[in-house]
């Protein structure tokens, strides 16, 4: 059994630019091992041609698939990582990165500043987005507590 704030933290619906997918509505998941962003609706194209792509996992949005996975009593942290990593291979633009690569984690809980940001730099300014050294997103108000609990005793938290 996996528990939010202990084994994982989930942001059900975030908006983030993803390489290979473009601006996307996605789900953000952090486990003890990895950071995942799985797009389900992406916008791409140029000029007068705009393409909206909807992706699913097993016929359902990635967020619903992850919620179903973590609510399964037989799920373990290892099985969650295995399943979600596998799903990332099926989704165009999905993002997965080992948490070991990040040197800082910044969690803001304010009304206007609410965010979770992961940085590969030890200090200084970070170029944002998955294409730079910082990766961040804005979880919902009721989701940010799980991120804060997951990183409560982590020395990388700033």
Render each residue's pLDDT in the chain as its tens digit; 158 residues.
Answer: 999 999 999 999 999 988 888 889 999 999 999 999 999 999 887 778 888 889 999 999 999 999 999 999 999 999 999 999 999 999 999 999 999 999 999 999 998 999 999 998 888 667 655 456 788 999 999 999 999 999 999 999 98
Q: Where do the domains of the chain lie?
A: 8-150
Interatomic CA distance for residues 41 and 22, integer angstroms: 10
Q: Are 124 and 3 in contact (CB under 8 A)?
A: no
Q: Are 129 and 58 in contact (CB under 8 A)?
A: no
Interatomic CA distance for residues 96 and 81, integer angstroms: 10
Partners of 19 in the β-ladder: none
Query: Is residue 45 packed enough to be buried (19+ CB in 10 Å), middle (13-18) or exposed (0-12)?
Result: exposed
Distance of CA 42 to the CA centre of its chain: 15
Q: DSSP label at 82?
A: H
Q: Are 95 and 83 in contact (CB under 8 A)?
A: no
């Amino acid at each position: 059994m996996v528990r939010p704030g202990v084994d994982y933290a989930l942001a059900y619906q975030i908006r983030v630019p993803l390489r290979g997918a473009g601006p996307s509505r996605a789900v953000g998941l952090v486990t003890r091992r990895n950071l995942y962003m799985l797009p389900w609706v992406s916008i791409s194209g140029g000029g007068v041609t705009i393409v909206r792509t909807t992706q699913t996992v097993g016929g359902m949005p990635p967020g619903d698939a992850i919620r179903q996975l973590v609510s399964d009593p037989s799920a373990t942290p290892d099985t969650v990582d295995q399943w979600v990593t596998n799903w990332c291979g099926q989704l165009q633009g999905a993002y997965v990165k080992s948490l070991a690569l990040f040197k800082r984690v910044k969690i803001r809980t304010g009304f206007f500043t609410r965010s979770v940001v992961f940085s590969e730099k030890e200090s200084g300014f970070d170029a944002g987005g998955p294409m730079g050294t910082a990766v961040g997103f804005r979880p919902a108000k009721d989701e940010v507590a799980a991120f804060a609990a997951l990183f409560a005793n982590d020395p990388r938290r700033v």
